[in-house]
Amino acid sequence: MTPDTFTRSQWYAIGRTGDFEGAKAKPVRLLSQDLTVNNTSGVLSVNDAEGHSLQTQVRYGHLWTTLSDNPRPLYDMPEFDEPDRRLVTAGGVGVRCSGLRCVENFLDMAHFPFVHTDILGVEDHSSVENYDVSMDAENDEIWATKCKFFQPLASAAATGGQMTEYKYRVPHPYSTILYKTCPIRQNVWDLVGLFIQPVEEDECIVHSFILVFDDENTDTGLLHFQQNIFLQDRMILENQVPRKLPLDPRWELPTRADASSIAYRRWLKANELQWGIALFDKVA
């Protein structure tokens, strides 16, 4: 399937800037197309298979490109300009499922006690309280706010269990950002996010970042925390059937805790996104 307009019109992160040190026609795959990246004296450029040059930008520590001549603007994250924050990028991790499934898993709190046991959740505190889901009509984004969850070890900087407060943002079909209570500073949010590179309809590379206030942990410590969490998620993501995201309600049944997932699926449908979606055909 050729990517639909909504999918095609997005910017996609294809690696960290540092990953293209000395790149000469370095192959990259995006939306079932082979691209190449060149580094000419520190200036990065991207070409498609026919040699046409694609638009690029360097932002949020990553190189972004688009197949569109008239892309939808890349969303803003003003926190990247705040002093004292630390950015740690984890590099790309391949996952054999639609990137849309990765976004949905990221938005989901109900799996914490079972998949991230004793880190992001415990089985004795499995309840998901109601939270608010809203559309930011101006920017065409989804926000889930007032999300609260009991976490024994919310981040690398946490010293014990706490009720963690979350906000989730979906500004892009393949990007999602979590704003969570900073364990060491009042009234600020730490950011954790995913920039997903859709490789095929049912295969993706997840580029993740954390942008936090933390004076204690080393970059390696922060990275290990994130990698540990993400590998636990990957085991789930690669065992969901089908690998593409089903939008047909006859296929997967949500509950109240899935309000953000319901909004996400509705938003994809409203934007007529089709690439990466499983069609309901044979399941009884």
Cβ proximity to another protein: between 24 and 256 the closer is: 256
Q: Which residue carries 């520190």 as its tokens?
A: 42
Cβ proximity to another protein: between 46 and 259 the closer is: 259
Cβ proximity to another protein: between 24 and 146 the closer is: 146
User: What are the DSSP E strand ranges found in 42-154?
Assistant: 43-47, 53-54, 56-59, 62-65, 86-95, 132-136, 141-151
218: helix, coil or strand?
Answer: coil
Token representation of residue 95: 């996952």
Task: Write b or e for each residue in 54-82: b if 16 or more Cβ atoms lie within 10 A of its Cβ, otherwise e.
Answer: bebeebbbbbbbbbbeebbebbebebeee
Question: Could you count the other beta carbons within 10 Å of the beta carbon of residue 40?
Answer: 9
Q: Which residue carries 């969850």 as its tokens?
A: 149
What angle do the packed helices 99-106 and 259-270 form, to 10 degrees? Answer: 140
Cβ proximity to another protein: between 43 and 284 the closer is: 284
Least Å distance between CB 283 and another protein? 8
> Binder to another protein among 2, 76, 114, 269 (CB under 8 A)?
114
Cβ proximity to another protein: between 104 and 214 the closer is: 104
Contacts of 74 (CB under 8 A, 6+ apart): 11, 57, 59, 64, 172
113 lies in the binding site for another protein (CB under 8 A):
yes
Question: Which whole-number Å values give the CA distances from 201 to 96, 99, 137, 229, 280, in the listed order?
Answer: 10, 8, 27, 24, 15
Least Å distance between CB 272 and another protein? 23
> Binder to another protein among 93, 115, 122, 158 (CB under 8 A)?
115
Question: Which whole-number Å values give the CA distances from 40 to 14, 22, 46, 59, in the listed order?
Answer: 17, 8, 11, 18
110 lies in the binding site for another protein (CB under 8 A):
yes
Least Å distance between CB 252 and another protein? 6
Least Å distance between CB 194 and another protein? 18
133 lies in the binding site for another protein (CB under 8 A):
no
| Contact range with another protein by CB under 8 A, out of 2-10, 23-31, 122-130, 201-209 | 122-130
Least Å distance between CB 108 and another protein? 8
Least Å distance between CB 37 and another protein? 34
Least Å distance between CB 127 and another protein? 6
123 lies in the binding site for another protein (CB under 8 A):
yes
Token representation of residue 61: 């520590």
Tell how far CA 205 is from the center of its chain: 10
Touching another protein, residues 25-84 (CB under 8 A): none
Touching another protein, residues 208-267 (CB under 8 A): 236, 239-242, 246, 251-257
Where do contacts with another protein occur on this chain (CB under 8 A)? Answer: 104, 108-111, 113-115, 123, 126-128, 236, 239-242, 246, 251-257, 282, 284
